[in-house]
A and B are shown apart, each in its own frame.
Chain A
Amino acid sequence: MTSLRSDAFVLSRSALTESSWIVCLLTRREGKMRAVAKGARRTKSPFRGALEPLNRVRVEISLREGRDLGTLMSADLEESALDLFGRWPAAGILLAVVEVLDRGLAEHSTEEETYRLVGAVLDSMRSGVSPALAWLYFASWFLRLHGVLGRPGRCAHCGAAKETGHFDAGAGGWICRECARSRLEQGIDVSSATREALGDVFRLSLPGLAARSPGPEALKGLKAVVYLALVSYLGRPLASGDHVSG
C-alpha cells in the first residue's frame, strides 16, 4: 500500500454507492487518476464542498499495488472554481474544459503541463479574460500538448515545406492546397489571420493574447479548427459542444 500526496484539479465524480463517489482527478504528479471518496455524498462529508469540478485541492490518495482505483483519504480545498461556474458564458466553457480533460486524458500519464495549463486558464478567467478566448487558448494548447495541433508549416500529408492553409485532422493536421484537393477537401481552409492567431496562442501567455486582441474573423477560424481537431482527437463530438462550437 502506497500513499500519494499531490495538488490536483477535480474533474468529475460519479455515484459509487448511496454515500460514496468515484472522483476523477487531474493530479500534478500522476496525471489523471480515479479514487473512491468514501462518505462524500453524506451531509456531514469529510470532503465538504472540496470535490466540485475544477476546484484545486491538495489530496492524499491511498493506492494498492496492481489496482488503478485509489482511495481518497483527504482533499483540502486550495481554490474553488464555484464562482466561475456562477457566471455565464464562463460556466459553459468550463463544462467543455472538464469534458475534454475527463475524456481526453489517459489515466496515470504525466500531465504536469496540462495541470499548469488548467491553472493558467482558470486564473486568467478570474482576472477577466474573455471565456471564449480562454477556451481557444486551452483547447489549442491541450491539442498541442497531446500532439494534434502544431504550428502550421510543413505539409503533414506530403511533407513538403510549403504554405499549409488547410486543416485536415484525418491527414495529420496542416496540409498544403494540393494535398487538400487530392483528399477531396475533407478539412477546412484556414485564413492566414487565423494561422497567425494560432501562432500568437503558442507564443504568448493568455493575458498577453487578450491584450493583443485577435480579430473576430481570426477567432472564428480558430474556433472551427480547434473544434475539428478536438472531435478527431476524442473520436466523437463534444457533448458540451453547444457552448464552444462554431
Chain B
Amino acid sequence: MSAFPEPLLRCLEELQKLPGIGPKSAQRILFALLDRGQEPALALARSLESLARSVERCPACRAYRETGRPCLLCEDPRRDRSLLCVVESAADVLLIEATGEYSGLYHVLHGLLSPMRGVHAEHLGVDAIEARLSGGEIREIILATPPTAEGEATASFLASLLAERGAAVSRIAFGMPVGADFQFVDAQTLGRSLSGRKTMAG
C-alpha cells in the first residue's frame, strides 16, 4: 500500500516521463508545487493545458507556432529567405538565435537518423525542405546537426539528397571552443579544427 494518494502518484508518474527527470527530481518538483499552495499549481496546470491546446508544429519549418497563427520564424519579413538552417530540435533554434550570427530560415528535423531507435528518413520532414527548395528562394542549406555519428549520418544523407536541387549545401564548422587551451582539447577536436581552418586576410 502506498503512502501517497492516487493523484500524487499519477502526477509523479507523468513527471518521470519527461527527459532528465528521475524519481527523485519528480518528487522534488511535485512537493515544491504542493508546498507553494493551490494557486501556483493551478497556474502551471492552466499554462500546460494552453500549451497543449494552442501550440502546433509549423508545416514549413516544423518549429512550434501558435495554432492557426503565422509562424514567427517563417513569416518574419526581416529574415534572410535565401538561407535555410537544418537543426535537430526546436531547442537548437533558440541556441542559434542566441548567437545573433544567423537571421535565415530554419528546418527542424525532430531527431537524427537512427534506425535502431526507430528514426528513419521519413521522420525528418525532407518533403518540407523540398517544398521550400521548389519555391526557388533558398540559395544555401546549412546542416547544423551535432558532430556525432548520428548527426554526421543525417547530414551526409541530407547532403546527398539535396545536392542536385540547386542550393549550396554547407556543414557548420567544428573545432576548438572559444577560450580553450590546446592542452585540454582532445585530438579529434583539434584535428577537425585543423581540417576546417580558414584563410586569414593579411
Cross-interface CB contact of B153 among A18, A94, A99, A238, cutoff 8 Å: A94
Interface pair A12/B116, CB less than 8 Å apart? yes
Chain A residues 88 to 107 lying within 8 A of chain B, measured CB to CB, are 88-92, 94-96, 98-99, 102-103
A38 to chain B, nearest CB (A): 15
Asked if A48 and B188 make an inter-chain contact with CB atoms under 8 angstroms apart, the answer reads: yes
- Given known A-B contacts A53-B149, A85-B152, A239 and B115 have beta carbons under 8 A apart: yes
The answer to whether A80 has its CB under 8 Å from any CB of chain B is yes
B187 CB contacts on chain A under 8 angstroms: 77
CB distance from B65 to the nearest CB of A (A): 29
Q: Which of B114, B120, B186 contacts A49 (CB 8 A)?
A: B186
Interface residues of B (CB under 8 A from A): 20, 22, 113-116, 118, 120-121, 147-150, 152-153, 155-157, 159-160, 171, 186-189
Whether B116 lies near A49 (C-beta < 8 A) is no
A88 to B148, CA, bound (A): 15
Cross-chain contact B115 with A91 (CB below 8 angstroms): no
Contact between A52 and B148, CB atoms less than 8 A apart: yes
- Please, how many angstroms separate the alpha-carbon atoms of A85 and B149 in the complex? 6
**Interface contact B188-A49, CB-CB below 8 Å:** yes
> Chain B nearest CB: distance from A13 CB in Å?
10
Q: Is the CB of A88 within 8 A of B149?
A: no
Complex Cα distance, B120 from A158, in Å, reads: 41
B115/A242 in contact, CB under 8 A: yes
Take A81-B149, A85-B149 as given contacts and tell me if A18 and B22 are in contact as well, using a CB distance cutoff of 8 Å.
yes
Q: Report yes or no: B149 in contact with A240, Cβ–Cβ below 8 A.
A: no
Q: Which of B20, B116, B121, B188 lies in contact with A77, CB distance below 8 A?
A: B188
Give Cα A207 to B189, complex, Å.
30
Q: Assess whether A98 is in contact with B116, with CB atoms less than 8 Å apart.
A: yes
- Inter-subunit contact B152/A239 (CB<8 Å): no
A80 CB to closest chain B CB (Å) equals 5
Q: Are A89 and B149 in contact (CB under 8 A)?
A: no
B91 CB to closest chain A CB (Å) equals 15
Q: How many residues of A contact B (CB 8 A)?
A: 33
- Shortest 9 CB-CB distances between A and B: which pairs? A240-B115, A91-B153, A239-B115, A85-B152, A88-B156, A88-B160, A86-B152, A53-B149, A48-B186
Nearest-neighbor residue (CB-CB) of B120 within chain A: A242
Report yes or no: B152 in contact with A82, Cβ–Cβ below 8 A: yes
* A87 within 8 Å of B (CB atoms): yes
The interface residues of chain B lying within 8 Å CB-to-CB of A133 are none
Known: A91-B113, A238-B115. 10 other contacts (CB 8 A): A17-B22, A48-B186, A82-B148, A85-B150, A86-B156, A89-B160, A91-B152, A91-B153, A92-B157, A95-B114
Nearest A residue to B171, CB-CB: A86
> Could you tell me if A91 and B120 are in contact, using CB atoms closer than 8 angstroms?
no
Q: Mark A1-34, 1 if CB is under 8 A from B, else 0.
A: 0000000000010000110000000000000000
Instruction: Say how far A87's CB is from chain B's closest CB, in angstroms.
Output: 6
A88: contacting residue among B114, B118, B159, B189, CB under 8 A: B159
A47 to B20 alpha-carbon distance, docked (Å): 20
Residue-wise, chain A 210-246 has the 8 Å CB interface mask toward B (1 for contact) of 0000000000000000000000000000111111000
A54 within 8 Å of B (CB atoms): yes
B116 touches A82 (CB 8 A): no
User: Known: A48-B186, A77-B188, A242-B115. Is A85-B153 also a contact (CB below 8 A)?
Assistant: yes
* B116 touches which of A17, A18, A80, A102 (Cβ 8 Å): A102
